[in-house]
Amino acid sequence: MIFSKKDGMIDTRPTAASWPKRIFELSDVPERFLPALRPWLDRGLEPAQMIFVPRVQHWLTVIPESLLFRFEQEVVFVERGGEDVLVIEQKDVLVVRHYMELLKCQMSILYRQDGEIRRKSLSYSRMSDDLMVEIYNTLLGNPPEYAPN
């Protein structure tokens, strides 16, 4: 149970409700994300390539809900119900950082876009770290199924 002083609400969902989840059916994708996904779905994106990260509210911070997936040599982040779409191509990635503290993981990516160096971060539960392997591999230019020894 998480109490938010900011909103005065208590989050009573089971802990697993805040973990990222692999999407298996297109019907599992929240409808507000579908218009933003249409270009990739038309090009052959499979639902099993998508990971949904639910909104999580910790004491004073909020992790917004997002949908991410890899497609060919791109990693795509769809946030704010499909209003914000960020496409990072593998060739533009400069640094990928994986940070882990107890059950909290954070992915941080430095990439080049429009001649500037930018950063994208994503926090998620360590219990779902295995879902992110394909995302990390795409960013690093490895085959999706690559696993370090």
pLDDT in tens, 58-112: 555 666 788 999 999 999 999 887 788 999 999 999 999 998 888 788 899 999 9
Report pLDDT digits (tens) over 8-48.
555 555 555 667 889 999 999 989 899 999 999 999 999 99
Q: How far is CA 83 from CA 3, 64, 80, 116, in A?
A: 28, 12, 5, 22
Residue with tokens 């507000």: 32
Q: How many helices (H) and strands (E) does the chain have?
A: 2, 12
pTM: 0.79
